[in-house]
Amino acid sequence: MRSLRSATTLIRRTHSAPFHKSASRGYELIDGTAIAAAVRQEIKDEVATMKSTHGIVPGLAVVLVGSRKDSQAYVTMKKKACLAAGFDSMETTLPEDCTQEELMGVVDAYGADPKCHGILVQLPLPDHIDEEFVLDRISLEKDVDGFHTLNVGRLNKKGKLAPTSVACTPFGCVELLVRSGVQIEGANAVVVGRSNIVGMPVARLLQDLNATVTVCHSKTKDLPAAVRNADIVVAAIGRAEMIKKEWVKPGAVVIDVGINAVDDPTKKKGYKLVGDVAFDEVKDVASKITPVPGGVGPMTIAMLLQNTLLRAKAAVNEE
């Protein structure tokens, strides 16, 4: 009952939605950067209150194995976001060739640390480490990524025990919809992609909010037809600009989870980031749409902070 209910309560609150509509275009941009900033400001305010009332500061530990550039960049972003929200930020970096036991030792140490309310093991892990085993080692109380098998189980059944956390990216997708005033109950939602970390949990969250959900994937026989049936499209395939204008029902809401690098010689870096949706054409039929970058991306870290705050609150309540 604890944190998904809390989370659902949070996302059910109505917020002034920072979206942009101009006379020159028919669609509204769902501005993830602005919504994430609003979420982060709310969290910061709550943290200040928590600190003054209970003397508690939420603490997030991030564990990185190896030296992948992208993982390092994510860890740095998470650390900065923690500090900006007034959290304690803890970090451990282990070498690429560390043993699973060493990694477990770090997870267990944060598990025993009362100042740490959330543990995030940055994925992917090197091949010699059993990812599922490591993720299941994090206690439910500190599983701010929501990847523990018990949390996946709780998410996927109705019961007295809600997940302690819901995976950050799916949670962020739903938060974007709710804060943009999108009607989820009764809507036909089509999720394209069935990954553990996005497609499956976002489908389940939308169903919990009473959407009628269809999950599409590589074996779907007529993907354009399936997508055309959607009032809400969530694209999480990982293929650049795959979803075209003709696939989208006029007036549909489009959430683009994809982040794909495509060559672009006009850019200094030689590439640009695009989503799974052909934004430039789909915007002409969608009623609301997220850009890439600046849509779902910024929400992931905001929801990580949200999850950590909820876990810190739960720890206060259990004291």
Distance CA 230, CA 212 (A): 9
Minimum gap (Å) between residue 69 Cβ and a second copy: 26
C-beta of 28 vs 143, nearer to a second copy: 143
Catalytic residue at 72?
A: no
β-pair partners for 92: 63
User: Residue 163 or residue 297: which is nearer to a second copy going by CB?
Assistant: 163
Of the two residues 50 and 189, which places its CB atom closer to a second copy in the complex?
189
CB of 218 to a second copy, least distance (A): 8
Q: Could you tell me the smallest distance in angstroms from the CB atom of residue 230 to a second copy? A: 11
The active-site residue out of 143, 145, 231, 256 is 145
How far apart CA 206 and CA 223 sit, in angstroms, is: 20
Q: Interface residues with a second copy (CB under 8 A)? A: 130, 132, 148-161, 185-188, 194-196, 200, 204, 207, 210-217, 219-221, 226, 229
Residue tagged active-site, from 31, 122, 208, 256: 122
Are 103 and 65 contacting, i.e. CB atoms less than 8 angstroms apart? yes
Burial of 211 by CB count in 10 Å (0-12 exposed, 13-18 middle, 19+ buried)? buried
CB 163 → a second copy: shortest distance, Å?
Answer: 10
Q: Which is nearer to a second copy, 90 or 155 (CB)?
A: 155
d(CA 281, CA 60): 40
Q: What is the biggest distance separating any 2 CA atoms in the chain, rounded to whole angstroms?
A: 59
Q: To which residue do tokens 């990812």 refer?
A: 131
- Which CB atom, from 191 or from 274, has the smaller least distance to a second copy? 191
Q: Is 100 a catalytic residue?
A: no
* Closest separation in Å from C-beta 234 to a second copy: 14
Least distance (Å) between residue 141 CB and a second copy: 16
Q: How far apart are CA 175 and CA 38, in angstroms?
A: 11
- 78 part of the active site: yes
Is 86 in contact with 111 (CB distance < 8 Å)? no
By C-beta, is 6 or 195 nearer to a second copy? 195
Query: Which residue of the set 31, 78, 208, 231 is catalytic?
Result: 78
- Tell me, what amino acid is at 87? F
Active site residues: 78, 122, 145
